Amino acid sequence: MRAVPLRPSSVPSGGFLRSPWGHVVQAAAALAAGMGVGRFVYTPILPLMHAQAGLSAGAGANLATANYVGYLIGALTGILVPALVRSPTVLRGSLIVLTGSLAAMPATHDTAVWLVLRLLAGAASALIFVVAVSSLLSHLREHPAHLPGWAFGGVGAGIALSGLLVLVLRSVADWEAAWWASAVLAAVLAAVSWNLRPETAPATTRESPTAVAGPSSPRTHRWFSILFASYTLEGIGYIVAGTFLVAAIGQGSPGWIGSGAWVLVGVAAVPSSALWAWLGRRWSRPDLLLAALFLQAVGIALPALVGGVAAALVSAVLFGATFIGVSTIALAAGAHLRFPRSVALLTAGYSVGQILGPLLVAPLLHDGYRQALILAALMVLAAAAAAAVLRIGFPHHMAAVRRAVPVPRSAPAETVAMRADRP
- pTM check: above 0.85: no
d(CA 141, CA 150) in angstroms, rounded, equals 14
Q: Looking at the domain assignment, is residue 174 inside a domain? A: yes
Same-domain status, 153 and 235: no
Q: Looking at the domain assignment, is residue 183 inside a domain? A: yes
Same-domain status, 184 and 262: no
- Compute CA distances 6 → 9, 85, 138, 232, 418, whole Å: 8, 22, 12, 38, 19
Same-domain status, 147 and 261: no
d(CA 385, CA 392) in angstroms, rounded, equals 12
Same-domain status, 64 and 156: yes
d(CA 60, CA 258) in angstroms, rounded, equals 17
d(CA 257, CA 264) in angstroms, rounded, equals 10
Same-domain status, 169 and 226: no
Q: Looking at the domain assignment, is residue 415 inside a domain? A: yes
Domain of 257, in residue numbers: 218-423
> Of 143, 199, 203, 149, nearest to 11 (Cα)?
143
Total domain count, the chain: 2
46 burial level (CB within 10 Å; 0-12, 13-18, 19+): buried
Confidence bin at 121 (pLDDT 50/70/90): very high
The pLDDT tens digits for 356-394 are 998 899 888 887 888 999 999 999 999 999 999 998 888
Q: Give the end of a domain, one of 201, 229, 245.
A: 201
The pLDDT tens digits for 255-274 are 678 778 888 999 999 998 88
What burial letters (b/e) apply to 298-321, b meaning 16+ CB within 10 Å? bbbbbbbeebeeebbbbbbbbbbb
State what percent of residues in the chain have pLDDT above 70: 80
Q: What is the pLDDT of residue 125?
A: 92
DSSP string, 156-203: HHHHHHHHHHHHHHTTTS-HHHHHHHHHHHHHHHHHHHTT-----S--
- The stretch 197-205 carries a mean pLDDT of 60
Half-sphere exposure of residue 177: CA atoms within 13 angstroms, side-chain side: 11
Q: What is the pLDDT of residue 93?
A: 95
What burial letters (b/e) apply to 88-109, b meaning 16+ CB within 10 Å? eebbbebbebbbbbbbbbbeee
Same-domain status, 79 and 163: yes
Same-domain status, 224 and 150: no
d(CA 20, CA 8) in angstroms, rounded, equals 12
CATH number at residue 101: 1.20.1250.20
Q: What is the pLDDT of residue 10?
A: 40
Q: What is the pLDDT of residue 170?
A: 82
Q: Give the end of a domain, one of 157, 173, 201.
A: 201
Q: Looking at the domain assignment, is residue 368 inside a domain? A: yes
Q: Looking at the domain assignment, is residue 407 inside a domain? A: yes
Question: Rg for the chain (alpha carbons), in Å?
Answer: 20
Same-domain status, 259 and 190: no
Q: Looking at the domain assignment, is residue 15 inside a domain? A: no
d(CA 173, CA 138) in angstroms, rounded, equals 43
Q: Looking at the domain assignment, is residue 1 inside a domain? A: no
Same-domain status, 394 and 335: yes
Q: Give the end of a domain, one of 201, 232, 254.
A: 201
- Lowest average pLDDT, out of 36-40, 307-311, 318-322, 399-403, goes to 399-403
Contact 46, 179 (CB under 8 A): no
Same-domain status, 196 and 222: no
Same-domain status, 281 and 325: yes
Q: What is the pLDDT of residue 409?
A: 37
SS (H, E, C) 102-126: HHHHHHCCCHHHHHHHHHHHHHHHH
Same-domain status, 109 and 240: no
The size of the chain, in residues, is: 423
3-class DSSP assignment, residue 249: helix
Q: Looking at the domain assignment, is residue 341 inside a domain? A: yes
